[in-house]
Structure 1
Amino acid sequence: MNRYSSILFFLFLQLFFAIQPCHRVVTTAAGGGSWQLLQKSIGIVAMHMQLLNNDRVVIYDRTDFGRSNLSLPDGKCRVDSSDLVVKNDCTAHSVEYDVLANKFRPLMVQTDVWCSSGSVVPDGSLVQTGGFSDGERKVRTFYPCNGDCDWVETGDGLKARRWYATNHLLPDGKQIVIGGRDQFNYEFYPKTSSPGVYSFPFLSQTNDRGSENNLYPFVFLNSDGNLFVFANNRAVLYDYKTGKVVKTYPAIPGGDPRSYPSTGSAVMLPLKNLDAATIEAEVLVCGGAPRGSFEKVAKRNFVKALDTCGRIKINGPNPQWAMETMPYARVMGDMTLLPNGAVLIINGAGTGTAGWENGRNPVLNPVLYWPNGAAGSRFESLNPSTIPRMYHSTAILLRDGRVLVAGSNPHVGYAFRGALFPTELRLEAFSPPLFGRAAE
């Protein structure tokens, strides 16, 4: 068994022998996966979620939506004279969810984390950067604990404003922070020496005026130490140490954008050792919205989302995209790699784009993608949820094999009544079938 197979096997064993949490409510048959309603309300919208090494999940929402449905403890209040909605807000916009106990508690986040980014670093803490308005240069850290720990915020820890940027953990323990609105560059955190901000022309080359489509680029660390970066409809292999493009990949067939606000999703599939010297690395990009969809939504024309996935072997001498068709068109979907190597595609809409009130026709059925299946038969439609998960919905893998699903607020503020898709505070879990086709 090679090193990468050993790691995957170890994670697989961890997954299935982990302690199972209580309070389960199974709502559908197990054959196509089962749904559980965990909490009727966690008080905030789960715009971002991150699992920590102590089986706690940090969840956070933007701070300028108005008051949430969860009070801060001990009379704490967030005072922000620049906030346009509530300048003295005594409600929470972040929570810590205890997976094993199925309980949550409010946290205090000071600055606006709307469309921010972050990563867990080697010591287990979550380092979260950027955001909107007063949060655009901030760095926030959450250290895992079993007590009453909370967010720790620094001053302007970033050199540039970062809104809709992407973070990736590097082998030396630093994070690289790539792009963001009007930022065609990257930087590192903790900070490096001057100049601090490094130009990345690929981001300006993939920037569509008006709709942009290069925000929240898909970034993966390749086996050779370089970064695979996908924005709009194109990708490069990038040496961040020298600032040079190592390889340029062909545009994804069809030419339609896949990154925000067209908002498809992507994963790197499990690595394969072809021989002692060759590692095969593949990236899968699914869904999105046809070019021009963002502009058409302004006229209330909700274009059908993309129903295709592109798959590419990034280390080969002549990489080419292989295209496949999903059972459902999907924009704003979330993709999660499961311990058996399958990919779960979940949440999102069938028409429209990301953005306020810009999505229609929620896609309630998750889909499994089996990478080792025969071409043309890799997708498996699973049991649906009853809860639409639109703009600002999230899904993450838990240690016991379930996928935590939450969020959805396609409105400028909280809207619990009289909205086509009300603000969603419920927390649920989906248990995908993990054994059926794992050996393919």
Structure 2
Amino acid sequence: MTVIDLGELRGDVEPDPPPRPPRAVGRPLRVALAGAVALLALASSAPLVRPASAVMDGRLGREVRIAGGRLYVADPEMPGAGGTRGVTAYANPAGAGSALRPLWRTSAPGGEGLFQVLEHGGFVLITGGGGRDGGMVETVALDAASGRQRWRQPGFPVPTVGGGLLLSGGGDDETADPLRVVDLPSGRPRWSAPVDRGRTAHHYRGAEIDQVVLIPESGRIEVRDAGSGAVLRVGDTRPGGYPSSVFAGDLLLVRANSGVGGDYRVTAYGLDALDRRWELALSANEYLEECGDLLCVGGREAGLSALDPATLRPRWVNPRWQRFVAARGGRLLVAADDRVVAPDLAVLDAATGRTIAELGRWELVLNQGPDEPLFGGRRTREGGLLVAELDPARAVARWLDVLPDVVEDCYSSGRDLLCRRANGTHGWRRLPR
């Protein structure tokens, strides 16, 4: 019998067994156990239904990505290809161990370096370039059904409301790169604005940007409609240093260095009027981010604390955990910042900070978006990878499968999981629900 070391999973454990029954009921209990063993033996003789899966050859220089239920495979640049590489889209198989079915093949930018795939609005956006020698990063838009190329332009893509696409950061000179919004189907320009790379913030409506904030070094802040480029509001934050900004609900949080040992300050502005709400000083080893309906401050020394976004009033402190991971259903998935590959994870009540369940050590699997399923991996004694779905709302880590030959680089899209295997190939698996 093979024994797999699953470690400890507090928070989703069976209750303690009842006291040992008296002798009078011992024989009936043994009969029942014998019947259960017989049923298990019958069940084990039935065919085992495995999740749909496939393997992609891992030749030297090949890049594999997964998006929208498909595999996208980029092969190294061939001589005379002019800075492009071939990309093939594959449909995922229906059964375990089935062959991948190619849908179409095209050329994409970047003979080496970045390879990024995004499916949106019936199109596939492939971004590449910026290899070892730098150079331009470009995005090509293709019809998802046929692979026919629609347009090719510099920049990294982010969808906007109204069928647009924001492109930024594609040129060799980062400080001169304009922020541009184009029409997704045609690539025709809608509007553009000069901005220093890294000094913008995006306000999302679902998976699309509806407002863009530009913060040049002068401190004159602009809030623009993402669809039309119209300036909605203008303010003067005078943040100093090298400001960056993020959104948290209806607040714009502008971060600027204070010049003392890496310490910095965060200033909150109301999005509607760009009025200053509050300011918070943080040390270099602390961070501030949105966690559900609250703001979380994390740090190795003080643990994790939650603040009211409107007043900055402290709600709670939990010194056991230092890092926020995700929010679901009024609960927070958090981690202990002990600088290990697979950190300890737990679920907290968002309102009180009380620890509801400790889930044990799990290596978080990268995914495409904040609303996608959360998966974690844990090494077994035999060297395989136990995969679990991390569910903060139910406060459990639900075991799904054991992958015996996975070594690293797991990535998920929806319920599709792509991992590198020990022999250099890539294994794709659709995880069960």
* TM-score normalised according to structure 2 size: 0.47
Structure number with bigger Rg: 2
Please state which structure has a larger fraction of its residues in strand.
2
